[in-house]
Amino acid sequence: MSWRKEQRRAERGYHHGNLKEALLQAALGLIAEKGAAGFTFADAARMAGVSAAAPYRHFRDRDELLSSIAQRGFEQFEARLTAAWDDGRPDTVTAFERVGRAYLAFAREEPAFYNAMFESGLPVDANPALQAASERAFNIIRAAAERLAALAPPGMPRPPAMMMALHIWSMAHGVASLFSRGDAARRKLPMSPDELLEAEVLIYLRGLGFPTDRRPPARGAEPPPVPPEAPSGSGVPPGGTPGGPWGKPK
Amino acid sequence: MSWRKEQRRAERGYHHGNLKEALLQAALGLIAEKGAAGFTFADAARMAGVSAAAPYRHFRDRDELLSSIAQRGFEQFEARLTAAWDDGRPDTVTAFERVGRAYLAFAREEPAFYNAMFESGLPVDANPALQAASERAFNIIRAAAERLAALAPPGMPRPPAMMMALHIWSMAHGVASLFSRGDAARRKLPMSPDELLEAEVLIYLRGLGFPTDRRPPARGAEPPPVPPEAPSGSGVPPGGTPGGPWGKPK
DNA sequence: GGCTCATGTAAAGGTCGTTCACATGAGCTG
DNA sequence: CAGCTCATGTGAACGACCTTTACATGAGCC
């Protein structure tokens, strides 16, 4: 009860206080540095200032730690996608693309989480809680796709929202994992991963018949099914992509 | 030079004969079973019936073995993509889709190679030969995209072939790595990975303005001004998808 | 104060990756 | 065939890691 003990508790608390949290943080840092494969249980213990056996009081084994991190990652992922979707404001297509960018941003800014979630070799169904978290995150994309599908122009058959969601997911994951992270980012590209994904999604949506030319409706005409591409005269607002979803057409 | 020695040579040749090849094969099997992360150098040595130190006569370290496998994988990958592309026969769009399916088939049928190539955490530029092999494989996709881009319908701006190639690659990799391999394949889907990718690519191509409805024109009004590729009289390629790129429209 | 349980430690066994000194046999040279 | 040399494989050893086991310790509760 002495002051010192109180002090110790503040520093390390009960036998360190919250080793579990400390280990998660340490592991996160290590994974960010060296990848999920390179991360070692012993290192995390060392980093937390604790013996190599201590972590086993909090995690059955190394995989369970990894799985915990992946789960936490899916939760943050879900939060970011939810925020990006913003319930479809200001319009569905814009919000949808924002979700795509949020996906990439997460992959780029949280490499450790992304690695644990998708590249650590964890079996998808390792942990029911993990699986549930993963599904909750995916459901954001799915819900967005649902809203988008409901907007299908009259002329076109309405695409299944589930399929759209899976397509978008695969695009985002493909771009993230091939071009946007770690060593893979070194591949030389004609455009940034964000632009690449944005163009990909836009072209895809156009393929479904959605109007993707969302700029101040300078030249009236409500979008007919599959409107022609950007008119050559438009003023190219900053967010817009002149000349179509890709850069300057040849 | 006795009979026994000749026999031994037949079995193991000079000090085993071709340990290098045996190690590559062993590693391939192990990776297929347990993933690139789980594969161990010592195991490969054991499987080849050789001491744990022997592999070091043929590979600088474990990573070099992995890198060799990845390189060989890219070579086989290139061969399969080349065969699938078949120089764009019978028509560009059909051949293009066949390349997509070949991509998935490779990922499914050669999980060990795919794993070493894309999921082993090897730095892309680890080995110049590896990087070159990887580029050669990608160039097949790129060449196919080039041909496709050249067919851009007059009304549309011509999409950069490089971008198209990157898009297709990301779709194929995304689908393969999320849905088509190992544990990930357990995710329950409304359609097979092949169908998923086929639909995705078709929708994408339609978004670029390509005619993707290569069937006897059932319920017209589809392709805008576009020189149709295969003559519509040709006998319904087996890959045809009734009702649009996805299944029955709702 | 004493009990109990969660939490941490030390030690040990097993596996790996890797290195090093050494063995061995293939193929050449004379 | 003798002998040399070099590629190839072995055995032992080191350090790191994962994991288990027996033991220590201190928090919280009666």
Which residue among B122, B196, B207 sits closest to A166, beta carbon to beta carbon? B196
Nearest residue to D10 via alpha carbon and C1': B51
- Look at residue B213 in the predicted model and tell me its pLDDT: 64
For A114-172, write each residue's pLDDT tens digit.
999 999 988 888 889 999 999 999 999 999 999 999 988 887 888 999 999 999 999 99
For A57-102, write each residue's pLDDT tens digit.
999 999 999 999 999 999 999 999 999 999 999 999 899 989 999 9
**Radius of gyration of chain A from its Cα atoms, rounded to whole angstroms:** 23
- Look at residue B175 in the predicted model and tell me its pLDDT: 97
Q: Give which of B206, B198, B21, B167 is closest to B101, Cα–Cα.
A: B198
Residue of chain B with shortest Cα separation from A159 = B249
Residue pair B126/B63 in contact (Cβ under 8 Å)? The answer is yes
Residue B5 approaches strand C within 7 Å at CB: yes
- CATH of the domain spanning A1-59: 1.10.10
Kindly report the number of other CB atoms within 10 A of residue A84's CB atom: 20
Put simply, whether B168 touches A (Cβ < 8 Å) is: no
Return d(Cα B169, Cα B142) in angstroms, integer: 9
- Look at residue A214 in the predicted model and tell me its pLDDT: 53
Return d(Cα B245, Cα B215) in angstroms, integer: 12
Give the minimum alpha-carbon distance from A157 to chain B in angstroms, rounded to a whole number. Answer: 5
- Look at residue A137 in the predicted model and tell me its pLDDT: 96
- Look at residue A181 in the predicted model and tell me its pLDDT: 79
- Look at residue A40 in the predicted model and tell me its pLDDT: 96
Q: What is the pLDDT along chain B (250 residues), one digit of tens a residue?
A: 333 333 343 344 446 778 999 999 999 999 999 989 889 999 999 999 999 999 999 999 999 999 999 999 999 999 999 999 999 999 998 999 899 999 999 999 999 999 999 999 888 888 899 999 999 999 999 999 999 999 888 878 889 999 999 999 999 999 999 998 777 777 889 999 999 999 999 999 999 998 776 544 333 333 433 343 434 333 333 333 444 566 544 3
What is the pTM assigned to this prediction? 0.85
Strands (E), chain A: none
Residue pair A122/A134 in contact (Cβ under 8 Å)? The answer is no
Put simply, whether A69 touches B (Cβ < 8 Å) is: no
Per-residue confidence band for A239, with pLDDT thresholds at 50, 70 and 90: very low
Helix (H) / strand (E) element for B78: namely helix B62-85
Residue appearing with tokens 């192990």: B30
Return d(Cα B96, Cα B78) in angstroms, integer: 14
Residue pair B212/B230 in contact (Cβ under 8 Å)? The answer is no
Put simply, whether A138 touches B (Cβ < 8 Å) is: no
Residue B91 approaches strand C within 7 Å at CB: no
Residue A60 approaches strand C within 7 Å at CB: no
Residue pair B92/B227 in contact (Cβ under 8 Å)? The answer is no
3 state SS of B97: helix
CATH number assigned to the domain with residue range A63-207, chosen from the 4 options 1.10.3720.10, 3.40.50.300, 1.10.760.10, 1.10.357.10: 1.10.357.10
Residue A220 has pLDDT above 80, yes or no: no
Return d(Cα A7, Cα A37) in angstroms, integer: 37
Which residue among B121, B175, B250 sits closest to A170, beta carbon to beta carbon? B175
- Look at residue B214 in the predicted model and tell me its pLDDT: 54
Give the minimum alpha-carbon distance from A6 to chain B in angstroms, rounded to a whole number. Answer: 44
Distance D30 C1' – A14 CA (angstroms): 21
Nearest nucleotide to the CA of B51, by C1', is D10
CB contact under 8 A, B37 and A202: no
Nearest nucleotide to the CA of B57, by C1', is D8
- Look at residue A224 in the predicted model and tell me its pLDDT: 37
Put simply, whether B179 touches A (Cβ < 8 Å) is: yes
The four Cα atoms B238, B180, A160, B215 give a dihedral, to 10 degrees, of -10
Put simply, whether B158 touches A (Cβ < 8 Å) is: yes
Kindly report the number of other CB atoms within 10 A of residue A7's CB atom: 10
Q: Give which of A156, A236, A176, A171 is closest to A202, Cα–Cα.
A: A171
Structure letter (DSSP) for residue A86: G
Return d(Cα B239, Cα B97) in angstroms, integer: 9
- Look at residue A184 in the predicted model and tell me its pLDDT: 75
Return d(Cα A148, Cα A202) in angstroms, integer: 13
Residues 191-210, chain A: which have Cβ within 8 Å of B? 191, 196-197, 199-200, 202-208
- Look at residue B199 in the predicted model and tell me its pLDDT: 95
- Look at residue B181 in the predicted model and tell me its pLDDT: 78
Distance C11 C1' – B114 CA (angstroms): 42
The whole-chain average pLDDT of chain A stands at: 82
CB contact under 8 A, B121 and A200: no
Residue pair A118/B179 in contact (Cβ under 8 Å)? The answer is no
Residue to substitute from B114, B120, B134, B204, interface A, most A β-carbons within 10 A: B204
Class of domain B60-207: mainly alpha
Mean local confidence (pLDDT), A194-219: 80
Residue of chain B with shortest Cα separation from A171 = B171
Chain D bases closer than 7 angstroms to a protein Cβ = 7-13, 16-22, 26-28
Helix (H) / strand (E) element for B132: namely helix B128-150
Put simply, whether B160 touches A (Cβ < 8 Å) is: yes
For A99-113, write each residue's pLDDT tens digit.
999 999 999 999 999
Distance C24 C1' – B26 CA (angstroms): 25
The four Cα atoms B168, A92, A177, B163 give a dihedral, to 10 degrees, of 30
Of all residues in chain A, the percent with pLDDT exceeding 90 is 63
CB contact under 8 A, A167 and B249: no
Domain boundaries defined on chain B: 1-59, 60-207
Residue A215 has pLDDT above 80, yes or no: no
Do the first three CATH levels of A1-59 and A63-207 match, i.e. the same topology?
no
Residue B52 approaches strand C within 7 Å at CB: yes
Nearest residue to D27 via alpha carbon and C1': A14
Lookup: tokens for A216: 């101040």
Count how many residues are written for chain B.
Answer: 250
- Look at residue A188 in the predicted model and tell me its pLDDT: 83
Contacting residues of B for A190, CB less than 8 Å apart: 160, 162-163, 166
Return d(Cα B82, Cα B74) in angstroms, integer: 12
